[in-house]
Structure formats: structure tokens, C-alpha cells
């Protein structure tokens, strides 16, 4: 297997997307497809997986030690990027995109490339909506918030079920490809709705799991009972593949391999 080396890049711009999410632009440009990820080395701290939000950026939510260290960096500081890794989305025909929170990051390239016909974006509250103006100018954007502070009051799954303020719901049968990323429990519920409509074969889901190597060697990101490696066989999987995994949406694993209830991050 060809080993991909980490490439040092300088941070050229830092944008506050929300109070907890930042985009880091860097001076390297990587030939990544929407959905592919990289291993990001934060000097002296750790190397962690993150999705590309463009060929020269990552969009990150502060959730732990590594991301907190990343948030402390400034323009001109250096990080390491190993990638692109894994596979990406393969959109065809009319494309529906469904994102929850920072899960919009690996889906953003689809909008930038003009491939997203409709983009459903969910957030906890209005303050946590990412890329709102940008996505609104590039695609047919539908927004839901858990607290009702913007758009539909509820979840992205409501919009798939035909609900939504002002007719914001969509019919997934109108789309040839459905690309999804977000909290795993959200994706599980999206897959359930699509499967009930016999549309699981049109859906592609990007998973976020704990990874050590990022290249399929250590097995830390394998899914029961399908045995799929998120880093090597994914991170994008078809809905039909995920229906074979009991682990998806039910539990994830920590750094020791121990099961953690809830499924994903």
C-alpha cells in the first residue's frame, strides 16, 4: 500500500463560521473530492481525521483537546495535512444534500461545484448554522433548527417526511442521489426514512469515526458486523451497505476500542 506523507501547510485565513466552528484555509491545495478526508497533524498535540471543506480548507468544531489546540493557532502557523484519504461522494442526476451541523463541511464542495440541487441544513440553533449565505446563493437551501430560532422548527428528517414551514419539505423520490453527513443518529433516521421508501440505494453517507492510522491498517474504525473500515472503505458508504451494519447509529468506539453508546460523534 502506498504511504501518503503528511505535508506541512501554513494557515492563511481563519474564519469564524459560528461560535463553535471555524474554517481554516491553508496554502496547500489538495486534489480532494467531496467527502474525502485528511489526517490533520497539530504540532505537539495529535493527528486527527477531518473532512476537507474545500481542496484548501477544513472546517472544524471545537469538541476536544486536538480541536481546542487547533483553535488556538493563528494565521501563519503550520499544521500537517495527510490526504486526501478514503473515497468521496459520487453524485449523479438530481442531487439532494442533507447535512447536520458541521457535517455540512464535507458536503460544501458539492455546492461549490454546482452539483447540489437542494441542500437541507440542520443546526441546534440559528447561531450554529454554517455557510448559510454561501449555500443560499449556490443551491436551493432549506434550513431546520432544533429550537425553531430559524427555518423549520424541528429536525432535517421532518423535511424528508413532507413537513416544514412554508412548504420547505422535499420528496426524496425526486432525486437520483442523496448525499448525507452529520451526527450518526441523524443519519440513521434519514436512512430509516429512505429505506421505508425503497430509496436506500440512492443514498450515500459520510461517517465520522475515531481513527488511529487513517489508511486501513489498525482496524480502529471497523464497523460491526459488516467489517467495513471507515478510513479505507469509506468514509462514504451507500445506504444499502450501512443497512448491513448493526453498529451504525447504535454505538461507536473510543480510543481503546470500547463501545460508546449513541453511534458516532
Is the pTM higher than 0.85? The answer reads yes
Write down the domain spans for the chain.
7-85, 95-261
Query: Per the annotation, does 181 bind a ligand?
Result: no
Could you give the CA distance from residue 166 to residue 40 in angstroms, rounded to a whole number?
Answer: 41
Mark out the alpha helices in the chain (DSSP H runs).
Answer: 65-71, 108-112, 132-138, 156-160, 184-196, 230-233, 239-242
| Average pLDDT over every residue of 12-22 | 97
Any known ligand binding at 29?
Answer: no
- β-bridge mates for residue 79, sequence order: 9
What pLDDT was estimated at residue 32? 93
Question: In the CATH hierarchy, which fold is given to the domain comprising 7-85?
Answer: Elongation Factor Tu (Ef-tu); domain 3 (2.40.30)
Residue 1 — very low, low, confident or very high, per pLDDT cuts 50/70/90?
very low
Residue-wise pLDDT for 77-132, tens only, equals 999 999 999 999 999 999 999 999 999 999 999 999 999 999 999 999 999 999 99
Supply the pLDDT for residue 169: 82
CA 112 – CA 54 distance, rounded (Å):
8
Q: Is the pLDDT of residue 202 over 50?
A: yes
Tell whether residue 179 is among the known ligand binding residues: no
> Which positions ≥6 away from 236 have C-beta within 8 Å?
35, 86, 87, 88, 89, 204, 205, 206, 207
**pLDDT number for residue 7:** 94
Cell readout for 60 is 472544524
What pLDDT does residue 265 have? 37
Q: For the domain bounded by 95-261, which CATH number is listed?
A: 3.40.50.80
CB 95 within 8 A of CB 177: yes
Q: In this predicted structure, what is the pLDDT of residue 229?
A: 74
Amino acid at each position: 500500500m502506498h504511504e501518503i506523507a503528511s505535508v506541512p501547510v501554513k494557515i492563511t485565513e481563519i474564519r469564524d463560521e459560528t461560535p463553535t466552528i471555524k474554517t481554516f484555509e491553508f496554502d496547500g491545495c489538495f486534489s480532494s473530492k467531496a467527502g474525502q478526508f485528511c489526517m490533520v497533524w497539530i504540532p505537539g498535540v495529535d493527528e486527527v481525521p477531518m473532512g476537507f471543506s474545500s481542496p484548501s480548507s477544513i472546517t472544524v468544531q471545537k469538541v476536544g483537546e486536538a480541536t481546542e489546540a487547533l483553535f488556538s493557532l493563528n494565521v501563519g502557523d503550520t499544521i500537517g495535512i495527510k490526504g486526501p484519504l478514503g473515497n468521496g461522494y459520487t453524485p449523479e442526476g438530481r442531487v439532494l444534500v442533507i447535512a447536520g451541523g458541521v457535517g455540512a463541511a464535507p458536503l460544501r464542495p458539492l455546492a461549490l461545484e454546482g452539483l447540489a440541487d437542494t441542500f437541507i441544513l440542520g443546526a441546534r440553533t440559528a447561531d450554529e448554522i454554517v455557510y448559510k449565505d454561501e449555500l443560499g446563493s449556490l443551491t436551493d437551501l432549506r434550513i431546520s433548527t432544533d429550537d425553531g430560532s430559524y427555518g423549520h422548527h424541528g429536525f432535517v428528517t421532518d423535511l424528508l417526511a413532507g413537513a416544514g414551514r412554508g412548504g420547505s419539505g422535499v420528496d426524496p423520490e425526486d432525486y437520483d442521489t442523496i448525499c448525507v453527513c452529520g451526527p450518526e443518529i441523524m443519519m440513521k433516521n434519514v436512512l430509516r426514512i429512505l429505506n421505508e421508501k425503497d430509496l436506500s440505494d440512492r443514498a450515500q453517507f459520510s461517517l465520522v469515526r475515531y481513527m488511529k492510522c487513517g489508511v486501513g491498517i489498525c482496524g480502529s474504525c471497523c464497523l460491526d458486523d459488516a467489517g467495513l473500515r471507515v478510513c479505507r472503505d469509506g468514509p462514504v458508504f451507500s445506504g444499502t451497505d450501512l443497512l448491513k451494519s448493526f453498529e451504525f447509529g447504535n454505538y461507536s468506539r473510543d480510543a481503546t476500542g470500547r463501545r460508546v453508546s449513541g453511534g458516532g460523534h
